[in-house]
Chain A
Protein backbone atom coordinates (compact mmCIF):
# COMPACT_ATOMS: atom_id res chain seq x y z
CA UNK A 1 0.00 0.00 0.00
CA UNK A 2 1.25 3.54 -0.65
CA UNK A 3 2.38 5.15 2.58
CA UNK A 4 2.32 8.71 3.79
CA UNK A 5 5.20 10.59 5.44
CA UNK A 6 4.32 9.30 8.89
CA UNK A 7 2.48 6.10 8.14
CA UNK A 8 -0.53 5.28 10.27
CA UNK A 9 0.23 1.76 11.33
CA UNK A 10 -2.74 0.89 13.41
CA UNK A 11 -5.88 -1.08 12.78
CA UNK A 12 -7.53 0.15 15.94
CA UNK A 13 -9.70 3.26 15.77
CA UNK A 14 -8.76 4.15 19.33
CA UNK A 15 -5.35 5.36 18.27
CA UNK A 16 -6.62 7.15 15.18
CA UNK A 17 -7.42 10.39 16.94
CA UNK A 18 -3.78 10.89 17.78
CA UNK A 19 -2.63 10.65 14.17
CA UNK A 20 -2.62 13.63 11.84
CA UNK A 21 -5.74 13.66 9.71
CA UNK A 22 -5.96 13.46 5.95
CA UNK A 23 -7.91 16.56 4.94
CA UNK A 24 -10.06 16.87 1.83
CA UNK A 25 -10.65 20.64 1.60
CA UNK A 26 -13.49 20.04 -0.87
CA UNK A 27 -14.67 16.72 0.57
CA UNK A 28 -15.16 13.87 -1.88
CA UNK A 29 -17.12 14.16 -5.13
CA UNK A 30 -20.80 14.36 -4.28
CA UNK A 31 -19.95 14.09 -0.58
CA UNK A 32 -18.62 17.55 0.27
CA UNK A 33 -18.95 17.05 4.04
CA UNK A 34 -16.59 14.07 4.13
CA UNK A 35 -13.46 16.09 4.82
CA UNK A 36 -11.32 14.55 7.57
CA UNK A 37 -10.08 10.97 7.52
CA UNK A 38 -7.37 8.74 8.91
CA UNK A 39 -5.81 5.84 7.05
CA UNK A 40 -5.90 2.57 8.95
CA UNK A 41 -3.38 0.00 7.82
CA UNK A 42 -3.23 -3.51 9.26
CA UNK A 43 -0.34 -3.66 11.69
CA UNK A 44 0.18 -7.39 11.42
CA UNK A 45 0.12 -8.10 7.71
CA UNK A 46 1.02 -6.29 4.52
CA UNK A 47 -2.44 -6.29 2.99
CA UNK A 48 -3.44 -4.93 -0.43
CA UNK A 49 -6.26 -3.01 1.23
CA UNK A 50 -6.61 -0.34 3.92
CA UNK A 51 -9.42 1.65 5.50
CA UNK A 52 -10.02 5.38 5.20
CA UNK A 53 -11.99 6.17 8.31
CA UNK A 54 -13.99 9.39 8.55
CA UNK A 55 -13.32 11.46 11.66
CA UNK A 56 -16.53 13.39 11.10
CA UNK A 57 -19.00 10.56 10.41
CA UNK A 58 -18.47 7.38 12.42
CA UNK A 59 -20.52 5.42 9.86
CA UNK A 60 -18.25 6.31 6.99
CA UNK A 61 -15.30 4.01 6.39
CA UNK A 62 -13.97 3.43 2.90
CA UNK A 63 -12.11 0.31 1.90
CA UNK A 64 -9.28 1.35 -0.40
CA UNK A 65 -6.60 -0.30 -2.45
CA UNK A 66 -3.48 0.71 -4.29
CA UNK A 67 -4.45 1.14 -7.97
CA UNK A 68 -0.95 0.34 -9.14
CA UNK A 69 -1.70 -3.25 -8.10
CA UNK A 70 -4.28 -3.24 -10.89
CA UNK A 71 -2.33 -1.11 -13.36
CA UNK A 72 1.36 -0.40 -12.70
CA UNK A 73 1.11 2.65 -14.99
CA UNK A 74 -1.82 4.09 -13.06
CA UNK A 75 0.02 7.04 -11.50
CA UNK A 76 1.32 8.10 -14.91
CA UNK A 77 -2.12 7.76 -16.52
CA UNK A 78 -3.61 9.69 -13.62
CA UNK A 79 -1.06 12.46 -14.13
CA UNK A 80 0.16 12.40 -10.54
CA UNK A 81 3.66 12.31 -9.11
CA UNK A 82 4.05 8.98 -7.34
CA UNK A 83 6.89 10.35 -5.21
CA UNK A 84 5.04 13.24 -3.64
CA UNK A 85 1.56 11.70 -3.59
CA UNK A 86 -0.10 8.50 -2.42
CA UNK A 87 -2.97 7.32 -4.62
CA UNK A 88 -5.85 5.14 -3.46
CA UNK A 89 -9.03 3.84 -5.05
CA UNK A 90 -12.17 2.94 -3.14
CA UNK A 91 -13.60 -0.55 -3.30
CA UNK A 92 -17.16 -1.83 -3.41
CA UNK A 93 -18.77 -5.21 -3.71
CA UNK A 94 -21.52 -5.43 -6.33
CA UNK A 95 -24.72 -7.43 -6.13
CA UNK A 96 -23.06 -9.87 -8.51
CA UNK A 97 -20.41 -10.61 -5.89
CA UNK A 98 -17.54 -8.88 -7.66
CA UNK A 99 -15.14 -6.65 -5.77
CA UNK A 100 -14.72 -3.51 -7.87
CA UNK A 101 -12.43 -0.47 -7.70
CA UNK A 102 -13.30 3.11 -8.58
CA UNK A 103 -10.44 3.75 -10.99
CA UNK A 104 -12.27 6.72 -12.52
CA UNK A 105 -12.19 8.74 -9.31
CA UNK A 106 -9.00 8.07 -7.33
CA UNK A 107 -8.05 9.72 -4.07
CA UNK A 108 -4.75 11.56 -4.27
CA UNK A 109 -3.02 12.49 -1.00
CA UNK A 110 -0.02 14.76 -0.68
CA UNK A 111 2.43 12.65 1.31
CA UNK A 112 3.89 15.58 3.21
CA UNK A 113 0.87 17.78 3.94
CA UNK A 114 -1.80 15.05 3.93
CA UNK A 115 -4.07 17.28 1.85
CA UNK A 116 -6.26 15.10 -0.36
CA UNK A 117 -8.52 15.44 -3.36
CA UNK A 118 -10.68 13.03 -5.26
CA UNK A 119 -9.80 13.58 -8.89
CA UNK A 120 -11.75 12.39 -11.92
CA UNK A 121 -9.82 10.87 -14.81
CA UNK A 122 -12.43 11.79 -17.39
CA UNK A 123 -10.52 10.79 -20.51
CA UNK A 124 -8.93 7.67 -19.06
CA UNK A 125 -11.49 5.09 -20.11
CA UNK A 126 -11.56 3.84 -16.51
CA UNK A 127 -14.86 3.19 -14.77
CA UNK A 128 -16.11 3.51 -11.20
CA UNK A 129 -16.52 -0.27 -11.04
CA UNK A 130 -13.41 -1.91 -12.38
CA UNK A 131 -13.72 -5.60 -11.49
CA UNK A 132 -10.88 -7.02 -9.44
CA UNK A 133 -11.95 -10.40 -8.05
CA UNK A 134 -14.97 -12.29 -6.85
CA UNK A 135 -15.65 -11.70 -3.16
CA UNK A 136 -16.28 -15.38 -2.60
CA UNK A 137 -13.01 -16.29 -4.26
CA UNK A 138 -14.57 -18.24 -7.12
Chain B
Protein backbone atom coordinates (compact mmCIF):
# COMPACT_ATOMS: atom_id res chain seq x y z
CA UNK B 1 0.00 0.00 0.00
CA UNK B 2 1.35 3.41 -0.96
CA UNK B 3 1.14 5.80 2.01
CA UNK B 4 0.95 9.55 1.44
CA UNK B 5 -0.07 12.44 3.64
CA UNK B 6 -2.16 15.30 2.45
CA UNK B 7 -3.32 18.50 4.07
CA UNK B 8 -6.67 20.10 3.52
CA UNK B 9 -7.18 21.22 -0.12
CA UNK B 10 -4.33 19.04 -1.36
CA UNK B 11 -4.96 16.37 -3.99
CA UNK B 12 -3.82 13.03 -5.31
CA UNK B 13 -3.90 11.89 -8.91
CA UNK B 14 -4.65 8.25 -9.68
CA UNK B 15 -3.63 7.57 -13.26
CA UNK B 16 -4.45 10.40 -15.62
CA UNK B 17 -8.16 10.65 -14.97
CA UNK B 18 -8.86 10.39 -11.26
CA UNK B 19 -8.32 13.18 -8.73
CA UNK B 20 -8.92 12.80 -4.99
CA UNK B 21 -8.94 16.02 -2.98
CA UNK B 22 -9.06 16.49 0.79
CA UNK B 23 -11.89 19.00 1.16
CA UNK B 24 -12.13 19.20 4.93
CA UNK B 25 -10.89 17.56 8.08
CA UNK B 26 -13.47 17.58 10.88
CA UNK B 27 -12.50 15.73 14.02
CA UNK B 28 -12.00 12.09 13.06
CA UNK B 29 -13.67 12.53 9.68
CA UNK B 30 -11.98 13.40 6.40
CA UNK B 31 -14.17 14.79 3.63
CA UNK B 32 -12.86 13.73 0.24
CA UNK B 33 -13.82 14.98 -3.19
CA UNK B 34 -13.39 12.58 -6.09
CA UNK B 35 -13.26 13.49 -9.76
CA UNK B 36 -13.37 10.40 -11.95
CA UNK B 37 -14.76 9.38 -15.33
CA UNK B 38 -18.28 7.93 -15.24
CA UNK B 39 -16.82 4.56 -16.16
CA UNK B 40 -15.00 4.36 -12.84
CA UNK B 41 -17.19 3.30 -9.92
CA UNK B 42 -16.39 5.07 -6.66
CA UNK B 43 -17.74 3.25 -3.65
CA UNK B 44 -17.25 3.29 0.09
CA UNK B 45 -15.43 0.07 0.99
CA UNK B 46 -18.24 -1.22 3.16
CA UNK B 47 -20.81 -0.65 0.39
CA UNK B 48 -18.57 -2.47 -2.10
CA UNK B 49 -18.29 -5.37 0.38
CA UNK B 50 -22.05 -5.48 0.94
CA UNK B 51 -22.87 -5.57 -2.77
CA UNK B 52 -20.20 -8.19 -3.41
CA UNK B 53 -21.62 -10.29 -0.57
CA UNK B 54 -25.14 -9.92 -1.96
CA UNK B 55 -23.93 -11.02 -5.40
CA UNK B 56 -22.19 -14.12 -4.10
CA UNK B 57 -25.12 -14.96 -1.81
CA UNK B 58 -27.47 -14.71 -4.74
CA UNK B 59 -25.23 -16.94 -6.85
CA UNK B 60 -25.14 -19.62 -4.16
CA UNK B 61 -28.94 -19.76 -3.92
CA UNK B 62 -29.47 -22.44 -6.55
CA UNK B 63 -31.54 -20.21 -8.81
CA UNK B 64 -33.31 -22.64 -11.08
CA UNK B 65 -34.42 -25.11 -8.39
CA UNK B 66 -35.63 -22.22 -6.24
CA UNK B 67 -37.38 -20.39 -9.06
CA UNK B 68 -40.89 -21.76 -8.68
CA UNK B 69 -41.02 -21.77 -4.90
CA UNK B 70 -39.69 -18.19 -4.71
CA UNK B 71 -42.18 -17.07 -7.35
CA UNK B 72 -44.99 -18.68 -5.37
CA UNK B 73 -43.84 -17.06 -2.10
CA UNK B 74 -43.67 -13.63 -3.77
CA UNK B 75 -47.09 -14.08 -5.32
CA UNK B 76 -48.64 -15.01 -1.99
CA UNK B 77 -47.26 -11.89 -0.35
Binding site for B on A (CB under 8 A): 11, 26, 28-31, 34, 40, 42, 45, 47-49, 51-53, 59-63, 65, 69, 90-93, 99, 102, 104-105, 118, 120, 122, 128-129, 132-137
Contact = CB atoms under 8 A, between A and B. Distances in A.
Interface of B: 39, 41, 43-44, 47-59, 61-64, 66-77
Given A49-B70, A63-B70, A128 B61 contact: no
Contacts of B67: 42, 47, 49, 51, 63
Contacts of A30: 48-49, 51-53, 55-56
A91 B74 CA distance: 11
B48 A48 contact: no
A90 B54 contact: yes
Given A62-B58, A65-B74, A137-B72, 14 more contacts: A28-B55, A31-B52, A47-B67, A61-B59, A91-B61, A102-B51, A104-B50, A104-B51, A118-B55, A122-B43, A122-B44, A122-B47, A128-B54, A137-B73
B69 A135 contact: yes
Nearest to B69: A135
A65 B63 CA distance: 12
A14 B64 CA distance: 14
A26 B41 contact: yes
Given A61-B63, A63-B70, A65-B74, A120 B41 contact: yes
A134 B70 CA distance: 9
Contacts of A40: 64
Contact of B54 (A59, A129, A137): A129
A48 B54 contact: no
A90 B58 contact: yes
9 interchain residue pairs of minimum CB distance: A30-B52, A133-B77, A61-B63, A90-B58, A128-B54, A105-B51, A29-B51, A63-B63, A47-B71
Contact of A99 (B39, B55, B68, B73): B73
Contacts of A49: 67, 70-71, 74
